[in-house]
Amino acid sequence: MLSKIKYQDLGLLQYKEAWEFQERLFNERVNLKLFNRENPSDNPAILDDILLFVEHPHVYTLGKSGNQNNLLIKNEFLAKIQATYYHTDRGGDITYHGPGQIVGYPIFDLEHFGIHLKQYVYGIEESIILFLHDLGIQASRLEGATGVWIQAGTSRERKICALGVKGSRHITMHGFALNINTDLQYFSYINPCGFEDKGVTSLEKELGIKQDLDQLKNLLQAKIIHYFQALPIKD
């Protein structure tokens, strides 16, 4: 039987509020899974998987094992550029979120799809690669790094999508940040994902024209749901 994924666009939302919201959804699913294991039933309660899309005001987030020195500016300058900073519990190093990005937070139970975390990360990357391919952008992975890259393995390699996740009891949270109409100047204040020698790009920069963010959100969520062979749930 196909799994079901509910897609929800949260619009523009502060990072802390979105983090707390996805944490609540994550904890509900972890707690329900523990309850079902302690109370076996022929018809256990199941919560549907959720795909959240959101835009954040300017914010830098550091992964749990990231290096704080990869934030190259002081608190005073953060305030000047109207940005905030959070040390999170996801994987990965430092990245930037801001207006014009599609930030995706899949709250998935990987047991519903019969996959493990490494396959899940591959699936998210592949969904984005296929999405970009449909728009005329040839993208791929970069060996030794997560996320999605353009011209990977060349002197002109540049990252268009960052990825950092958390998993527990096969439930996922956090996710990816895909640069669409993103102000790339904000990446100059960090070593993106800990790299000092690699570029960052956006769909607007690659195609030379501002993109319709709402239309692309619809295309991307459909691509992810299709890749994971799930049924979409509408509100």
Of 63, 29, 51, the residue nearest 171 (C-alpha):
29
Q: What is the dihedral of CA 123, 126, 130, 131, to 10 degrees?
A: 70
Residue 214 has a CB neighbour count (10 Å cut-off) of: 9
C-alpha 34/C-alpha 27 separation (Å) is 11
C-alpha 50/C-alpha 61 separation (Å) is 22
φ, ψ dihedrals at 135, nearest 5°: -95, 5
Q: Which two tokens stand for residue 95?
A: 């990245």
- Catalytic residue set: 193
Among all chains, which residue has been given the structure tokens 């996740």?
Answer: 165
Of 67, 32, 37, the residue nearest 47 (C-alpha):
32
